[in-house]
Structure 1
Amino acid sequence: MYYAIIALILVICVLLSIVVLAQNPKGGGLSSQFGAGGGAAQMMGVKRTGDLLEKLTWGFAIGLMVLSLGSYIVGGHNTSGPVRSINQQRALETRMPATSAPVAPGAPAPAAPVAPAPAN
């Protein structure tokens, strides 16, 4: 299921990039070249083609966001599963040092233990 969602995300990314490249706010992009033959411009009109490309852009963008969130829900955030990076593994393995008993107000703080110097 996870890989199917990832494949859909890739397909939507390609389609979204094609639709965005077909648009031009000044009307000189690929959308105007589709109507250069006259057939598409007469069938849908230039304004309607722009509306269609805008609706496709919004639809693909929303679909991309929904599928991205879906891929996280389906396969992503399992903290009890395998560790994904060496840094995450080391962070999970490290232990915080035990703290000493709380010090009463006004009492001197206990001295911190001194670690021996490493041998060269």
Structure 2
Amino acid sequence: MFTLLVVLILVVCLLLALVVLAQNPKGGGLSNQFGSGGAANLMGVKRTGDLLEKLTWGFAITLIVLSLGTHMITFGDGPARSINQQRAQQVKLPAPAAPAAPAPGATVPTPAPATAPQPAQ
């Protein structure tokens, strides 16, 4: 499911980039270079601009919804957790090293007791 959403996000990103590149409010964008200048004359410049603007908003909203969907799948409490979270829970950290025991018969130095400094008179 997560992989499907990521693929959909990539497709929507590609389509959004194409739609944004195709529009130019001054009339000299990519839409004229790919032969849709005739379509703009046929449909009218205003209607073509409205269509591109609606497509831009639609793809942008779809991108946001799909991104939030991947977040819900990744950080949900159900069985659909991400692979990285499952691996992180399975990794076992090495146990901390125990302090070395002193050799038999060896004396262990003890730290001197801390004394409070005497005020100067």
2:72 aligns with 73
Uncovered stretches (5+) of structure 1, i.e. residues with no partner: 94-110, 112-120
1:44 Cα deviation (Å)?
1.6
Letter in 1 for 2:86: G
Distance, in Å, in 2 between the alignment partners of 1:35 and 1:17 is: 17
Distance, in Å, in 2 between the alignment partners of 1:25 and 1:4 is: 35
Uncovered stretches (5+) of structure 2, i.e. residues with no partner: 76-80, 96-113, 115-121
RMSD across aligned C-alpha pairs, in angstroms? 2.8
Q: Between Structure 1 and Structure 2, whose CA radius of gyration is higher? A: 2
- The structure 1 segments of at least 4 consecutive aligned residues displaced by more than 6 Å after TM superposition are none
2:3 aligns with 3
Q: How many residues align?
A: 86
Q: TM-score scaled by structure 2?
A: 0.59
After superposition, the C-alpha distances for 1:8-53 in whole angstroms (9 at most, x for unaligned) are 00000000000011111212112344343x3x13432111111100
Letter in 1 for 2:60: A
Distance, in Å, in 2 between the alignment partners of 1:31 and 1:47 is: 14
Q: TM-score scaled by structure 1?
A: 0.60
SS of the equivalent of 2:88 reads: coil
Q: Is the 8 A contact 1:13 1:64 kept in 2?
A: yes
